[in-house]
Amino acid sequence: MLLDIGTLTHYYTLIISVQALEIDIIMVIDGVTGQTDTFESLLNRSIRTAIALKKRGIQKGDIVTGCSNNHIDACVPILASFFIGAIPCSLDPTLSFFEINQLIEQVRPKILFTVQESIKTIEEALRNAELDTEIIVFGSSSKYTEFEQFIQPQEEEKEFKPIFVDDPNETCIIFFSSGTSGFPKGICINHNYFYYHSPLIPRAKNNHLDVDRQKFEMDKRERGSSFLNYGSMYFNSAGMGLFLSAITGICRLLCSNFNAKEFWYLAEKYKVSGVFLTPFQVTELVKCGKPKDIDISSLVRLSTGGAALSKKYVFALQELLPDTDIIPTYGQTEVGILAAFQIHNKVHREYYKKNPDTVGLPVQGVSYKVVDPDTEKVLGANESGELRVKSKTIMNGYYKRDCSNRYDKDGWFRTGDVVKYDENGYFYVVDRLKEMLKYRGWHIPPAILELELSHHPAVRQAVVIGKPHEEDGDHPMAVVVLDKNARDVTAEEIETYVAERVQEKQRLRGGVKFVESIPMTPSGKIKRRELRRMVLEGQI
């Protein structure tokens, strides 16, 4: 079977290829309701939704946005957008109004699919942006069109063909991330992001790809099993999970809320072969412990990422799951690689068991260099510096925002992460140059907290830094300079003031430090790294 390279980058052809190879298995299971869905059903609903979008005037390059937790239909608008060349992007219902407002203002979608609980937030954000975006609701609604109407049979569906993509460098999807400035950005991902993760690439013949049935053969331990996914389509890991499900035929098990006790029973019931967990979820799993009566021999691999996992919990996890491959992942949405390093064979895994600080070896198709950020000198083994990369999968840019400062003069992408590599080529993440914090896998932009602190009448200047926490990643800490005329203010008062104005995950869990002044550069920029070092070393 031959597939045109231009269309390979769409999920449509990936799903079609699986169907053509007669992999007759369930594609997705809702872990809460037990509802299942097949490849054929998902394909039909996606085609019908694509036709409905075209009838509403949605064209190539238009933005289609979703705001939904994990359920069987959540991915349908995304697939439908690919079919017609529209650009999908997703929000998460748990985001704050500030975040949703910022992101909608930025991408200005033509149409938006949302769950019922997010309708009021979406309405207000659209009013603020002065948009007449059409709202489609998953579930029942007396005010807006229900999604159910989008998936009714269409006369045109049998003749439907997806748009052909000539240039794999075109933007095909937007993922959101808090960038170095601290405010949300839309990251434009091109088709290469998916193309270079496809197992079909080595089979290219005369501008076509030879789809070898063996390429879709799964590990024997994974047949009839599922991949457990907790993240919504807001996260690029969920997008890649959908892609890999299409090309391998492995079933996705969808859950929105992580519960350590429930995890074990879900893993046994649905024969989970793989799962991606944040470090916080791993620590909860270790604390919970594995029930004695549970059989999870199907669990082939457990990947973790989003922040560093301490050695203590790596070793504990290995002891808890001795027959499961524990795989750390490192990556950035901007880089376009789910894991910018790899630990994929037995030798790598054995090395990792003894060196749990490593994030693995370089990935094929990505060029790396470690640079002294002050002198631009390229560093060698065991020297810490900023990681810079080159790859065809690197983002096309931030949506309608300048990103020139993310590249050096030679065109290398600045990751903002401090790394080193050892004599064997294994990389280690040492620190972050970036200002963004991560709490339990969630991005926390310091700028948002600093803005709230600036509104306090007693605060003259405030900087938010991350205080390392073994289980949670970063605990936001405020370093505050009080106004000279301010009355006596306590750290607890500042913490309460912020807690009343931000999401629960954004609270100042690291506390508040009062100082006389903040270290600044000659040009007036805050020396965040030096300030953080002073706090962690007890100088403040």
| Average of per-residue pLDDT across 39-57 | 92
Question: Is pLDDT larger for residue 255 or for residue 530?
Answer: 255
The answer on 498 and 412 residing in a single domain is: no
φ, ψ (nearest 5 deg) of residue 483: -65, 145
pLDDT, position 521: 61
Beta strands 272-277 and 226-229 are parallel
The answer on 160 and 105 residing in a single domain is: yes
pLDDT, position 204: 38
| Average of per-residue pLDDT across 52-77 | 96
Model confidence band, residue 180 (pLDDT cutoffs 50, 70, 90): very low
pLDDT, position 408: 93
The answer on 11 and 147 residing in a single domain is: yes
| Average of per-residue pLDDT across 255-273 | 93
| Average of per-residue pLDDT across 352-379 | 85
pLDDT, position 522: 52
pLDDT, position 201: 45
The answer to whether residue 72 scores a pLDDT higher than 90 is yes
The answer on 487 and 427 residing in a single domain is: no
| Average of per-residue pLDDT across 126-139 | 97
Q: Report yes or no on 427 lying in a domain.
A: yes
The answer to whether residue 424 scores a pLDDT higher than 50 is yes
Token readout for 521 is: 């550069």
pLDDT, position 417: 87
| Average of per-residue pLDDT across 475-492 | 90
The answer on 450 and 402 residing in a single domain is: no
Please name which of 263, 279, 274, 289 lies closest in space to residue 312, comparing C-alpha atoms: 279
Question: Is pLDDT larger for residue 151 or for residue 14?
Answer: 151
Q: Report yes or no on 401 lying in a domain.
A: yes
pLDDT, position 217: 44
pTM value?
Answer: 0.81
Q: What is the span of the domain harbouring residue 137?
A: 2-24+39-190+198-210
**Residue pLDDT, tens place only, 246-258:** 777 788 999 988 9
The answer on 79 and 148 residing in a single domain is: yes
Domain count, the chain: 3
Q: Cα–Cα distance between 413 and 405 in angstroms, integer?
A: 9
Q: Cα–Cα distance between 139 and 119 in angstroms, integer?
A: 12
For the residues of 233-278, what is the DSSP string, one character each? Answer: TTSHHHHHHHHHHHHH-PEEEE-SS--HHHHHHHHHHTTEEEEEE-
pLDDT, position 340: 55
- Taking CA atoms, 308 is separated from 254, 279, 355, 417, in Å, by 25, 7, 13, 12
What percent of the chain is modeled with pLDDT above 70? 86
What percent of the chain is modeled with pLDDT above 90? 45
The answer on 414 and 354 residing in a single domain is: yes
Please name which of 82, 41, 26 lies closest in space to residue 249, comparing C-alpha atoms: 26
pLDDT, position 453: 93
Q: Bridge partners of 90?
A: 66
The answer to whether residue 8 scores a pLDDT higher than 60 is no
pLDDT, position 339: 55
CB distance 8 to 195 below 8 Å: yes
The answer to whether residue 81 scores a pLDDT higher than 90 is yes
Q: Cα–Cα distance between 118 and 90 in angstroms, integer?
A: 13
The answer on 427 and 460 residing in a single domain is: no
| Average of per-residue pLDDT across 121-135 | 97
Q: Cα–Cα distance between 433 and 465 in angstroms, integer?
A: 12
pLDDT, position 6: 46
- Where does residue 497 rank: exposed (0-12), middle (13-18), buried (19+ CB within 10 A)? buried
The answer to whether residue 342 scores a pLDDT higher than 90 is no
The CATH number covering residue 443 comes to: 3.30.300.30
Q: Bridge partners of 38?
A: 26
Q: Domain ends where: 376, 411, 432?
A: 432
pLDDT, position 216: 41
Q: Report yes or no on 319 lying in a domain.
A: no
Sheet holding 171-178, edge to edge: 145-146, 134-138, 111-115, 63-67, 87-91, 171-178, 184-190, 397-398
| Average of per-residue pLDDT across 465-493 | 90
